Structure formats: C-alpha cells, structure tokens
Structure 1
C-alpha cells in the first residue's frame, strides 16, 4: 500500500467532495510551462488545455501538464474527439482529467469512461511510469487504482441531443462533471450569442436537476463575459466554473491598459 506521501492527489476532486467551487482557466495560446505558475498565482484550481480549438502538440500538452502537477494545479485536457487511442496518449502525457466535447448519449459517455479508466472500470492500457505519479514505480494494481481515483471525466452538454439525454448521461458511472458549453448550445438551440436566453436557463436547470439526481457536478462554460450569470448558477448549485481562456484574458487586459492612455 502506498504511503500518504505517495498518494496521487487531485485538488479539484477534493474540493468538489467538500462542495466547494473550483475555477478553471482555459489554455489556448500559451505554449510554455509558465502558464501553470500564472494559473496558480491568479488563484485557479485547474487549467484545461483546449485541443479542440488550437494546434498544440502532445509534447506541449505534456510539458504544461507536468508543470501543473508540480504546482498542485489539476491539468485537464479537452480532446477534439472521442478517439480512445488519442485519449490514452493525452492521459499518458500527464492529464488528470479529460473534457469530452459534444456528448450526445449515454453510450458516448460510456465510451469515454472505457477510454479513460483502467480495468475493471475501463480498458485503458497500462503504460508503466507516468508523470502523474512523478514516475514512481508502483505495483500495477496500486498505480491503476490511484489513477482511476484521481482522473476525472468532464462531459460537455452542448447540443439538443446531449440535453435530451442529460439524465442518462449523468447516470453513467465514472462521469464526474457535466459542463454546459453555453456558446455551442446557444447556436444549436437557434439563439446564437444569447447566453441569458430562457432556453439556455432551462437547459442549465435541466442539467442541474440531472446532476443532483445522480450526485454529479454541474459545470459552467462559455460565460466568462457574464460573471453575474456565473454567480447566479453557482448560487443554484454549479461547482465547476470555466472562467475564460488565456487569449481572451490577454486581449481584455491589453485593451483596458491601452484605453487608459487615450
């Protein structure tokens, strides 16, 4: 049995277990390990590297993940698709969570669980020494157990199909968080850009009810420009908040700085 100092910890999972809100910064621009320290200094609990909307290499992903682990910032990765082979490579790079876009059914969710978890929960292949465990050589049964316990699955609800199946998706064992992708959901519902539309509020309520029924966590995404809405959804029970990405932060701060000299 591993000692307490050998145990793999995920600060996000631990905070959610205590019903605390966790805050995430999306990484789309910065390709160097400094972004991990920036996230920690700014007070974020996690970063998620967005491979759906940028061209980062897996080498870049691995370097950022390892830097985050050393600073106890949980590194998550949004994958561009649900290919099990690609998901396995992302996890072997050091990710402590997979953000799966465009879930449309319970079977979609189960396929992610199979790709992320080691047997008996899934069918991920054991790679041996991994960065999440600081490359310690633990018995296979112990390393598999620790990685299964610490690695999180965040399923994105961002389509009418996903919304219709949200109750069944939330019921899938192994899924930890349902993250509403507000922008894509708005477009799919026919109200692009209208993030406070009644249809969007109804969608959040439906997702929250599904999460409560199955003891899962509701996540808020795509609302970085509306902190008032984020606070409202957190007050109603959301506990995972994607606040925005490094690119938008840089543009926003640079624009504000320039305007003060006008």
Structure 2
C-alpha cells in the first residue's frame, strides 16, 4: 500500500486492518514531510507492518535521515546502473558493506541502548534496499543491477517505463511483458526478489507474474483507494 495522502498514524492501523504486509510512504511524488513519515513508520513497526519509504533520489544524507526516523527500508527510483544500485546499498548499510553513519539508539529497536556492533548487525539485517527499474537504461542494466550485493528487491516501475517506451498505460503490451520477464530472469539469477509496480488496476497480470516468481506487489495508493471507494458508494444511489 502506497501512502501519499494521509499524514497521520491512522494509516498504519488501516493498513494493518486491511491485511497489508507493508506500506511505502511516497516522498518522491508527494509533499510528505519527514516528521509525518517517521511517525507512520513507528506506528507500522509496532503493528508488524513493514514501513518502506520511497525517497526522491539517491541522496545519502536524506536516506540516512529517513532511516534514522524509523523506516525499515528505502525505495530508490529510476536506478539505471549497477553503480547507482551500489550507491543505494552504501547509503542504507553500515561498514563494511556501506557507509551509513551509526546514529545510536534507533527507533526500529525501540530506542534500546545496545552495543554498537549489535545495533549495526540488527539494523543492517533488517533494513531493505529496493531499487526501481523504470527506464530503458535501467532495463538494459537489470542483470548487473540484480547482481549487486545488498539489493533485496528490484521493483519494476511500469508506469514510467510504459511512458518511456511510448506505450503509456498499456500494461498488457508485449514490450511491458518482455520487460517483466527480463527482470524476473535477472532476479532469479541474482537471487533477488521481483517487485511489481504500476499494475494495481491489472489483477490478472499481477497473478500471472506472481506465479512466475514475483514476490512484492505495489497495489495502489491511499488516494486511489479513497477515490475508488467513494465513487463506488456514490453510484449506489444513482
């Protein structure tokens, strides 16, 4: 479940009640403030709903602040090379795999005071790195991207990819299918999880790609869920 609209911790409880495993707070395509994102992350952690945050780009300083606010993982948009994927890992993980600064007591650990080596171990084990492939360049480099140590999920951004391919919104187009199949093969070879983005309105396609090995599905955002439910309810009285 993508969170773009709701700024309060209520959305964590809604996601939990609806049965979502994870939410991701979209700080790329919204005016979401960091303070609100951190509060929602904390609420999600207490409910067992994994909070991820999509950052605007690969800014390591901003990524560090998002993680220090309680996120359990980062989604980096439009990754186009193995080098950019390694930079994402470096921003999320501590040494020796990365360069993240040790902030001390962490909200993910309920602010317990633990030995630094244990903090590093627990945070690095728990903090996910999700990279988005949503361009021709990213798709051309997906085999190298999926081979990068520390990457957990390669998430296909089908909306932006379809726009770049000149087939905006045509998620059943053969080019989109070929792109998904290439990412699935690359992730199988690299031992990574395939993520599906942009297919929330195409449940049959989601089922088919999950059957082929995809393991993470972005189903839609709070704005679209609210609008769809409101529209459905309104039409009951036409």
For these two proteins, the number of residue pairs brought into alignment is 238
Q: Distance in 1 between matches of 2:120 and 2:151?
A: 17
User: Which of 127, 130, 148 does residue 154 from structure 1 map onto?
Assistant: 130
Shift of residue 56 of structure 1?
A: 1.1
Which runs of 5 or more residues in structure 1 are unaligned?
1-24
Q: Does residue 74 in structure 1 map to residue 18 in structure 2?
A: no
Shift of residue 130 of structure 1?
A: 1.1
Structure number with higher relative contact order (C-alpha < 8 Å, ≥ 6 residues apart): 1
The equivalences for 1:188-203 within 5 A come to 188-203=164-179
Q: Does residue 86 in structure 1 map to residue 62 in structure 2?
A: yes
Q: What are the Cα deviations for residues 99-136 of structure 1, in whole angstroms up to 9, with x where unaligned?
A: 01000000000000110001111000001111100000
Which runs of 5 or more residues in structure 2 are unaligned?
none
Q: Distance in 2 between matches of 1:235 and 1:112?
A: 29
Q: Which residue of 2 aligns with 1:225?
A: 201
Q: Distance in 1 between matches of 2:235 and 2:114?
A: 55
Q: Distance in 2 between matches of 1:189 and 1:255?
A: 32
Q: TM-score under structure 2 normalisation?
A: 0.99
Q: Which residue of 2 aligns with 1:47?
A: 23
Q: Distance in 2 between matches of 1:219 and 1:58?
A: 25
Q: TM-score under structure 1 normalisation?
A: 0.90
Q: Which residue of 2 aligns with 1:109?
A: 85
Q: Does residue 34 in structure 1 map to residue 10 in structure 2?
A: yes
Shift of residue 190 of structure 1?
A: 1.2
Structure 1 runs (4+) deviating above 3 angstroms are none
RMSD: 0.5
